[in-house]
Structure 1
Amino acid sequence: MQDHTIPVEALDSVDRIPAAEAAEIAPAKVRIEEVARRASVSTITVSRALRKPGMVSEKTRARVDEAVRATGFTLNPHASALRSGKSNIVTIFVSSTHSQQYLQAADAFSAIIEEAGYEVVLARTSYSFTREIRLMRTLQQMRPAAAFITGVLEQELNRAMFRRLDIPVVESWAHAGQPIDMLVGVSNTDGARAVARLLAERGYKAPAIVTRVSGRGRIRREAFEAECRALGLPPVESVELAAVESMEDGRAALSELLSRGRKIDAVFCANDLLACGALLEARALGLRVPGDLALVGFGDNDLMRELAPGLTTVAPDPVSIGRRAGEMLAARLAGDVLSEPAVCLPLQLKLRGSC
């Protein structure tokens, strides 16, 4: 089911390198003229040998390569991007570097996109709309070839800025109705509803939720609360956080829930770090899991499996998300037209001892 709560935003033959090409030289201390002098060729021949080696003879390439090694000279891809309007850089917007799933997706994506001849740059948004804006202003200068986002852009201002970049973009981790360009999503709504049904089926009658206040956290909370109402369960107690940075956030959230004095017998933590922290806090308080309190998470990092009694969780497949995003972007960068620019991958509910 769609996550409806996300808002909708040739070469010159003269013996002198053109000024625009000369601007490609990165190190100020090593000029292309020095490479040309050592190789006994013209500057334009150096440029051709480095950027289009098929245009020069093997013997000339060897002399240029030797001169480059001797001087440490390199071409500046960012200056080339300014001249040509594009680069070979693909940017990954990672919502949080604390998330094992996002890093697994980034790794799978990178393997595909690097094989296609591109280089990857990682940018951390920290779930911040302000950081998104700053990063996009930086991207306007870098002129990347494409971008992959572990999430979806919610603010229309940020969406509009991305559209103006006019590059292929893949969003992910939500089933948004109107992606900027392409999407590899999962249904947070379906995942949260499945948790509510599981708790009801297993006899829990006083559920609570801990989540982020915005983005996918909000989607999960709204879907969980709606399904609990439909199942005839009492109003869901909740703790909403501005950000999730460590397991300590989960410990503090569970402590707050319990301090309110209302009976709860199950907690849906809409983030792995929160669930792990909640389990540690429950242990510290002498609560039995699941005897006194059931816990369910969302994400399925390694700790979910290793912390006894094992945490039940909603599990996307981050490797499949990253790989599919990489394949879609590589195809678009090669000039292909995608027949399916938006896909929704399945979620699994992995049952373990905490529920």
Structure 2
Amino acid sequence: MPATYDNVVRVSGHAEAPRLAAKAPRIEMVAQLAGVSPITVSRALRQPEKLSEATRRKVLEAVERSGYESNPHARALRSGRSTLVAAFVSNILSQQFGLAIQGLAAELEPEGYELMIGQTSYSYAKEVAMVRSLRSLRPAAVMFTGVIELEENRQALRELGIPVVETWAFPRDPIDMLVGFSNVDAGAMAARHLIEKGYRRLTFIGRSGGRGALRLQGFREEAGRSGLTLARIVTVDEVQSIADGRTALTTLLAEGGPVDAAFCANDLLATGAVIEARARGLAVPSDLAILGFGDNDAAGEIAPGLTTISMDAHDLGRRAGELLRARLAGQEPQHAIQSLPLHLITRGST
């Protein structure tokens, strides 16, 4: 059965969106302002001891006036031989994102490419800063553990003219290439499992936007097909650690009312929820069933073991690396848009 498309939100005109018109100043502009040759500018920045104090001062003043940023990879970039690949993860604490980066590195590093890792933290502000950094850095390619929502950022990435791979969702309109899975289907799978186990008072814990909202959509729709309305929804703006899961479950329990199962749409949230439930003396799953997404190492270690929905994150990264490697070799991949299957890993928490 083909994956359901994720209707990823597209945001335009956001206050933090980058201005697209300005281009990074080139070394030739600095040379013109300083009244020297480009090679003199290069020497002033890299071998200042070879120039007079007056020439160095003139060049540095021109650099400040122009806003030029010296790029350690500039020589390779000008010749079209950059070996730097930028990989941005949503959260560096997520084991799943780490596995994806390992898969990416396994494909690219043997070909002589170097990975630069950054974190977007599910933040538009950080995403905008990332796009600005890519304009000056101009890597050979870029990969995201997620999809870009800001239209201005999508356009800026297209204008870089480099291969781009988005992951962790399945939109109809990726920027360039995509290796993902349907978050809507993941939510539906969670609801089906809990309903088949006999739970009827279902609740959701997850991010308020992005992939969390898509998983909530699938969860709610599948519950509705069985005639159920979600008993409660607890949303969080950001997920940084297991502590966020503990806080979310505290919020859920404080609101009162009967609940017998919770789908936590993030592995950190689910792990924290199990720990908090046990700390409060709740038996999992007899008092509260908890279903997660992501399957980190803790899922099999914490009692009674976390049931979770997952996919092969290492394979996702490997496939993304294959796509980038083909493009960087001047080839067009046969399947530039790929979806991964989802798996239910059953343990004691449901």
Alignment TM-score > 0.5, same fold: yes
1:23 aligns with 2:25: no
Residues in 2 aligned to 1:24 and 1:110: alpha-carbon distance in whole angstroms: 34
Aligned residues: 305
Residue type at the aligned position of 1:186:
F
The answer (yes or no) to whether the contact 2:90–2:145 under 8 Å persists in 1 is yes
The answer (yes or no) to whether the contact 2:147–2:169 under 8 Å persists in 1 is yes
Distance change >3 Å, CA 213–CA 21, structure 1 → 2: farther
SS of the aligned residue for 2:73 comes to helix
Q: Deviation string for 1:214-264 (max 9, x for gaps)?
A: 110010011101111111123341111110111111111111111111100
The answer (yes or no) to whether the contact 1:296–1:354 under 8 Å persists in 2 is yes
TM-score, normalised on structure 2?
0.82
Residue type at the aligned position of 1:330:
R
1:321 aligns with 2:312: no
Shift of 1:130: 1.2
Given candidates 142, 147, 165, the residue that maps to 1:170 is: 165
RMSD over aligned CA atoms reads 2.2
Distance change >3 Å, CA 306–CA 155, structure 1 → 2: same
The answer (yes or no) to whether the contact 1:268–1:296 under 8 Å persists in 2 is yes
Provide the residue aligned with 1:249 in structure 2: 244
Residues in 1 aligned to 2:94 and 2:340: alpha-carbon distance in whole angstroms: 19
Shift of 1:313: 0.3
Provide the residue aligned with 2:8 in structure 1: 6
The answer (yes or no) to whether the contact 1:185–1:345 under 8 Å persists in 2 is yes
Residues in 2 aligned to 1:110 and 1:203: alpha-carbon distance in whole angstroms: 43
1:289 aligns with 2:308: no
**Which stretches in structure 2 are left out of the alignment for 5+ residues?**
13-36, 51-70
The answer (yes or no) to whether the contact 1:151–1:173 under 8 Å persists in 2 is yes
Q: Which has the larger radius of gyration?
A: 1
Residues in 2 aligned to 1:92 and 1:256: alpha-carbon distance in whole angstroms: 34
The answer (yes or no) to whether the contact 1:290–1:354 under 8 Å persists in 2 is yes
Residue type at the aligned position of 1:178:
D
Provide the residue aligned with 2:141 in structure 1: 146
SS of the aligned residue for 2:263 comes to strand
**Which stretches in structure 1 are left out of the alignment for 5+ residues?**
10-17, 32-75
Q: Which structure 2 residues correspond to residues 33-182 of structure 1 after superposition, within 5 A?
A: 77-81=72-76, 83-84=78-79, 87-182=82-177
The answer (yes or no) to whether the contact 1:3–1:219 under 8 Å persists in 2 is no
Residues in 2 aligned to 1:318 and 1:22: alpha-carbon distance in whole angstroms: 45
Residue type at the aligned position of 2:290:
L
Distance change >3 Å, CA 24–CA 145, structure 1 → 2: farther
Shift of 1:25: 9.6
Residue type at the aligned position of 2:4:
Q
TM-score, normalised on structure 1?
0.81
The answer (yes or no) to whether the contact 2:220–2:229 under 8 Å persists in 1 is no
Shift of 1:156: 0.9
